[in-house]
A and B are shown apart, each in its own frame.
Chain A
Amino acid sequence: MKTLDPETRRAAREQARAARQARQRRRALMKHVLLILGSIGMLYPLLWMVSSSFKPENLIFTELGLWPSEFVFSNYLQGWYALRTSFTLFFWNSFVIAALSVIGNVVACSLTAYAFARLEFRLKWLWFALMLGTLMLPYHVTLVPQYVLFLSIGWVDTILPLVVPKFLAVDAFFIFLMVQFFRGLPRELDEAARMDGCGPWRIYWRIIMPLSTPVLATAAIFSFIWTWDDFLGPLIYLNDLQSYTVPLALRAFVDSTGLSAWGQLFAMSTLSLVPVFLFFLFFQRLIIHGVAMSAMKR
């Protein structure tokens, strides 16, 4: 080493670094290629369904590619009217239930979470422990008695059993999420507001709510997606075709066509995924952050 002049040494170092960088770049590139191939493989079934919904029936069973060699739109038109009632009504039903559920969950869960996070009252620890306990409770346990209850007050075959529980903050997961978030807000704001003569309602409405849009949006998005996808609830409580939600309609579609109209079925399935996909597209960060948050804060 001593015989080498500084100039050569620097050159050798440069060279080594360049080689290392090239190696790293190659490895990063390999990774990207693998990841892209992996994600295409993952998403292939979904992409194929979308593409098949534009294919004539006979091509669905022969064409694996994503680009339809023959492009038809009839699956959507025929599928939309394939059942005795058109999908307009099914989408409307689903939308009404989902929208009401979102409102119910956001309002009721935020009220509850505010009480747990900010207010002092007797037996708070007990209620809080019970609320956490319901997080673990599988819904099957309450399934039968709830059905009996709703049947006895004449709510079966209406959307009430699907919507009213949301206004009673039955979904403890959202309460939990909001409690965690509210606790992170600076208490000085409450104190200052109280000095100015604000009661708890005003603090809830004017201070906590406006500062909590991220968690409220997360709760709203998940409420919407879960309600939109819910199958068991509507399956039990909605028996009349006129009141079917989209998932129920898809199931009825499968049963009525005996799996002979895949193109139409795929067309309607694709449409049923559109709202959830749009939420994903616009609120991807919030959704993924919400998933991560649910675990990290426990």
Chain B
Amino acid sequence: MRSTATAAPATRQPLPASKGYRLTEGMRRAWKRNGAGYMFLLPWLVGFFFLTLGPTLASLWLSFTNFDLLTTPAWIGLENYVYMFTIDQRFRTALSVTFTYVLWSVPFKLAVALALAMILDKGIRGVTFYRALFYLPSLLGASVAVAVLWRQIFGREGMVNQLLWLLGFQGEAWVNHPDYALYTLVLLAIWQFGSPMVIFLAGLRQIPTDLYEAASMDGASKTRQFFKITLPLLAPVIFFNLVLQTIEAFKAFTQAFIVSGGTGGPIDSTLFYTLYLYQEAFANFRMGYASALAWVLLVIIGIFTAISFLTSKYWVYYEDARS
């Protein structure tokens, strides 16, 4: 640190204006103007080129090849994509499982999150305490430990079935049943509604209370207030949560891996897209095909995000737009 302090005044002294110095002076000035910025940016630049941009392009190229990690990649044109969309049954299964998961888990998760945020928002004592309790599953839920727990809870002799047994019912082995296994994972996702709830809560805080007061003066019912004030003013936050949670849901991996023991079973009923990708890449070593799968996922997420953004102007009300 001390050396830069002594060096700093030196650079500020005017340079000799002789011709031989012109170029160096220009370079010096460029360095003075940009050098510090690029020095600070250096780690990120290295990471960006070698770990993000490079691999992204490499993966696009690999998606047109046949590559098993041992031999050099062989160019096969569109073959991976043709196989994926015309022949590969598991690809179709993975897509349908993932979409089912997204379509069930995201709306319910957001609904629960919003409902609880609204209950907590109305000046109740101990908000921070409840908020913390309801957030805890979100923080712990991503772990292998909770996935292991889930496998027990919804197992044949698991906690849920013990409960059902007390009530006089005979439960299934939920995680081992192709009709139900996926929905145990949906439940696991909904259970982690904490972060959208926290975000909703922060959003609700921003809505001026005098709006509600004015509305109830005018005799608007609570339901009407919800649809006419809360929902429109909260739309940007709902939008943000929707995009974020959907992308998260598309990327879900650990839970399905642990609950199904890495297989995506029973009979591929929990074969998440990411799980299929992992199997193709690191169990079957079909690296080219896995890259193609990754690019299709990127496109799907891209399309979804684009749709959300394009439609957002019709249903998202931004406060700034008024002024």
A residues contacting B by CB (< 8 A) are 28, 31-32, 35, 38-39, 42-43, 45-46, 48-49, 61-62, 64, 108, 111-112, 114-116, 119-122, 124, 127, 130-131, 134, 136-149, 151, 165, 167-170, 175, 197-202, 204-205, 225-226, 228-229, 231-232, 235-236, 246-247, 250-251, 254-255, 259, 262, 265-266, 268-270, 272-273, 276-277, 280, 284-285, 287-288, 291-292, 294-296, 298
Contact = CB atoms under 8 A, between A and B. Distances in A.
Interface in B260-314: 261, 274, 277-278, 281-282, 287, 290-291, 293-295, 297-298, 301-302, 305
Given A108-B43, A168-B43, A270 B136 contact: no
A175 B44 contact: yes
B58 A145 contact: yes
Taking each of B56, B145, B198, B291, which has the highest tally of chain A beta carbons within 10 Å of its own beta carbon? B145
B54 A112 contact: no
Contacts of A48: 159
A254 B175 CA distance: 15
A232 B278 contact: yes
A45 B149 contact: yes
Given A31-B124, A42-B133, A250-B144, A292 B69 contact: no
Chain A contact residues: helix, strand, loop or mixed: helix
A228 B139 CA distance: 12
B93 interface: no
Given A64-B163, A165-B51, A254-B258, A140 B251 contact: yes
A159 B191 CA distance: 32
Nearest to B159: A48
B174 interface: no
B124 to A, nearest CB: 6
Given A49-B145, A142-B55, A288-B131, 10 more contacts: A42-B133, A42-B137, A49-B149, A115-B37, A138-B294, A140-B274, A165-B47, A228-B143, A292-B201, A295-B244
Given A42-B134, A265-B148, A276-B143, A198 B47 contact: no
Interface in B94-142: 116, 119-120, 124-126, 128, 130-137, 139-140, 142
Contacts of A124: 37
A112 B43 contact: yes
